[in-house]
Amino acid sequence: MQTIFQLFPSSVKAAKNEKNIGIPCCEISDEPSFSWRGLNLDCCRHFMSKDFVKRYIDILAYYKFNVLHWHLTDDQAWRIEIKKYPKLTQVGAWRVESDGSVYSGFYSQEDVKEIVSYARIRFITIVPEIEMPGHSLASLSAYPENSCSGGPFKPANSFGVFKDIYCAGRDSTYIFIHNVLDEITQLFPGKFIHIGGDEAPKNLWKECPICQAKMKTEGLKDENELQSYFIKNISAYLTDKGKSVIGWDEILQGGLAPGTIVQSWQGFQGAVDAANLGHYTICSPESFTYFNTSPENLDLRKVYSFNPVPDTLPENKKNYVLGGEVNLWTEYIKQENVDENLFPRMLALAEVFWSNPQNKNFDEFYSRVKKSYADLRSMGIKYGREAKSFTYNITIDKIKKESVVNVVKLQDNIEIRYTVDGTIPDSNSHLYLDTLKISKPLVLKIAAFNAYYITGVALTLKFVNNMASGSKITISNQYAERYNGGGKEALIDGIKGTTNFHDGLWQGYEGVDFEGTIDLGELKEIHSVAPTFLFNQDSWIFLPEKVEISLSEDNIAFNNIRTINNDIPQKSTEVLIKEFAALYNKEKARYIKVKALSIKECPDWHSGSGGKAWLFIDEILVK
């Protein structure tokens, strides 16, 4: 039936009042490749109205999705009414923003029943996600007795991973969650309940005498097994109620309860591990399905290339992959911005989840996408971009001592405008016609315009004088590919990164030190060397413990060693950029070696305790 609806002309869908509709004569013979075709809609970080949720149920049905994964609880809010525990919404559904304003919203049980009924008629299964044991700060704000420390707490007004989670040692915690799930299972008649299980810091469990006593009583060797005990308890309770439990791939730690479904988000490995253990899995890796990622970093073509069945999965295990999901996390996305983040990229996953991978052809698919825009407009979907509006490359002219910026359009019907004073371009700014030549420090901002409006994200490039620009650099440890900063030469290209580590200018090293050697090409007098590092501990990015800088004439004997120790507390919540500068008195050198000692693991006090710490480096300024 949805195929027939899709054959209706766009004018009919928009007007909805034509009596005689002509559609092509055809025979429909069709079936999906995957039984699980979902959208994970996060209504915690930013609330979405009941009518908006119903609107998306209609959209899902039209594009042959069959699951709405409804994210209802998190650190920032508890969004669903629980009669037995009224404070979950009286307290947990409200947060005070940093500017003092109050942000709130929740669904009454009558709202939920209406939405579930609306979905059922359209053959959409709603899967509620009730987060545990982590991402539970809003719940603990209402009932702090379920924590290890006793609180007090308040719903978070920032985003990240928080150390306060449910106490896994208290029997009363399990009674509380069981009571909540009693009402959840009555509201959602579908077979599946998602219990999260992701990003649960265990540092407070290590300090909690009640958790430690529980581990001793149950013979659990570590906190990972305590989490497994927690998840298995909840799984058994829900299984007795005839429900199947879904959890994010962290629930693999310490062992799985029978029948548990694993949703793999950190990559494909969680899906592979689950399938090899004989568990069904939903494959939705961040790198392909997280549509809160901008089209700059996850474009239509890459989304279309996704295959939910991992290449490394044995043939006899592939049937354990149920399918996949579009994921929309809304930390920085409000209801009015949902459409532009989901579409047109959602069309790609609609096809990935339905079609045989052997029949996929991007060019043929894209020809239909362009025709689909009229459909999207007729349904009132305010779609966004397919990809980056433009890209750029920079070459260094060492003789003229200038950077040459070349901008390449990636979309039709746009124009490129720029400013050189740090202001955001508008429709009256300089029109880009040819390469730009930069020979002095300045802030270049470049933006794409569709008619009179910016489309996409404005690019900011802060040019500085760097004697090493255009030189060669070798590095020892390899950077993470998703934080490549534009390649190793980007560390000496005369452009400084911003405090946004997603700006494409930072180079990230996970759990390892940085070591790089710059070859200036000839002997030069050195006045200073200042490598630049980013600090954002909420995102697990820490400053180096110390930086060692040394000089050499022959790349063999290095001397003039300077050691710069970090003087900023790693516990600071500030996001900042810090230069570790070494000063010299006109020493001559051709080679400059920079070593930065990473802390390698997140400290015990950190929410990511024991996880790999990031070291982010950008420009190595040489004067």
Query: Any catalytic annotation for residue 135?
Result: yes
Q: How far apart are CA 541 and CA 564, in angstroms?
A: 19
Give whole-number Cα distances, 151 to 138, 209, 262, 556, in Å: 12, 16, 32, 57
Structure tokens at 168: 């896994």
**pLDDT tens track for 508-542:** 999 999 999 999 999 999 999 999 999 999 889 99
Query: Any catalytic annotation for residue 279?
Result: no
CB-based contact 543:513 (threshold 8 Å):
no
The closest of 70, 323, 43, 92 to 196, measured between CA atoms, is 70
Q: How far apart are CA 177 and CA 159, in angstroms?
A: 24
Q: Which of 135, 194, 279, 606 is catalytic?
A: 135
CB-based contact 98:69 (threshold 8 Å):
no
Residues 6+ apart with CB under 8 A from 486: 493, 504, 505
**Domain 465-623 fold:** Jelly Rolls (2.60.120)
Is the confidence at residue 312, as pLDDT, over 80?
Answer: yes
The closest of 281, 245, 291, 283 to 266, measured between CA atoms, is 283
Pick the residue with more confidence: 458 or 105? 105
Q: Which of 74, 129, 164, 493 is catalytic?
A: 74
Is the confidence at residue 19, as pLDDT, over 80?
Answer: no
Q: How far apart are CA 22 and CA 24, in angstroms?
A: 7
pLDDT of residue 184: 98
- As annotated, the residues of the chain forming the CATH 2.60.40 domain(s) are 388-463
At residue 563, the 3 state secondary structure works out as: strand
**Domain 388-463 fold:** Immunoglobulin-like (2.60.40)
Helices (H), 333-385: 338-342, 345-354, 362-378
**pLDDT tens track for 175-230:** 999 999 999 999 999 999 999 999 898 889 999 999 999 999 999 999 999 999 99
**pLDDT tens track for 128-151:** 999 999 999 999 999 999 999 999
CB-based contact 107:52 (threshold 8 Å):
no
Q: Which of 199, 223, 250, 299 is catalytic?
A: 199
Structure tokens at 119: 């979905």
Q: What is the mean pLDDT of residues 103-108?
A: 97
Q: What is the mean pLDDT of residues 388-400?
A: 86
Q: What is the mean pLDDT of residues 80-98?
A: 96
| Residue 223 main-chain phi, psi, to 5 deg | -70, -25
Least confident window among 308-317, 524-533, 608-617: 608-617
Query: Any catalytic annotation for residue 74?
Result: yes
Q: Using the 8-state DSSP alphabet, how is residue 613 labeled?
A: P
Q: What percent of the chain has pLDDT over 90?
A: 77
Q: How far apart are CA 360 and CA 240, in angstroms?
A: 42
pTM of the model: 0.79
Confidence class of residue 463 from pLDDT cuts 50, 70 and 90?
A: very high
Peptide bond into 258 cis (omega under 30): no
- As annotated, the residues of the chain forming the CATH 2.60.120.1190 domain(s) are 465-623
